[in-house]
Structure 1
Amino acid sequence: MAQTLVEFGRSVQTNLDNGVIVPINATAKLILEFGINVPRATNFVELTTTVGWQVTNVFATPPEQPKLFLQVLMDGIVVGSAEQESFSNEEEELLEVVTTFQSILTNVSIGFHVFQVFASNPEDFQGDITLTGPVNITGKVYAPA
């Protein structure tokens, strides 16, 4: 069945590498937020989240490494998440990582919905995570043509 893009929304802190400096610790921090209208009952919503980050001050105590934990919420309810563990480069240099993931929602209720992205580092005692960019999310609502 053919699908048509009926709504689009996005939130952008930066599209650039090294465009922001946002320290992340164990407490979840709101990093992105936007609203989007869903006009039809039969639909799917495609969310694409991208977060660039750096790891510093890594402690050499395997097996745990700093982890970036991202959660996407719709109207306060978790609808997508990703967790990416850093890896040890065994050097004193910055470790730079970009995490991108999609969340696909089906038959979201008609009306306006708020989407939020929270970031945390549940292993913050193992090293420091700083968001550097790009940091953005896009939301697309598709419905039958």
Structure 2
Amino acid sequence: MTDRDEWGRQPVHYAARDGDVAAITMLRGSEDVNATDAEGWIPLHFAAQGGHAKAVEALLDAGADVYAMTDKGFPAIYWAAVAAGGDPVSAIRVLRAHGADPTRATMRTYFGPKSPLYFIRQTTSNPVIQAEFRDMP
């Protein structure tokens, strides 16, 4: 197991953030792909946030928990939907193919728990992203 930095992250967190599939593959034997940082983020959250679909797939294949949430209840499917770069549509599709459920009310708000889908529909104006969730109630 690799030492953690001041944010509680290991190299696999940074490999995921960068979408570095080769590094993820190399590190998966020595690091926990479900290790949380100081805010409850696992490498999958970073890969999803970057829209790194191939890194998302590599992490899920290595045993990453598709249902893992940050300390505030944000799952990877949410981060993929609000990704500013990469290929968020492909990341969403990979996550959904592995069972990610954006309808689960896991995100803590002042008004009680809300689902990622609620926030995606309220805050994401990208019609391509919206189309990925059109089949959801």
TM over 0.5: no
* Structure with the greater alpha carbon radius of gyration: 1
TM-score, with length taken from structure 1: 0.24
TM-score, with length taken from structure 2: 0.25
Higher relative contact order (CA 8 A, sep 6+): 1
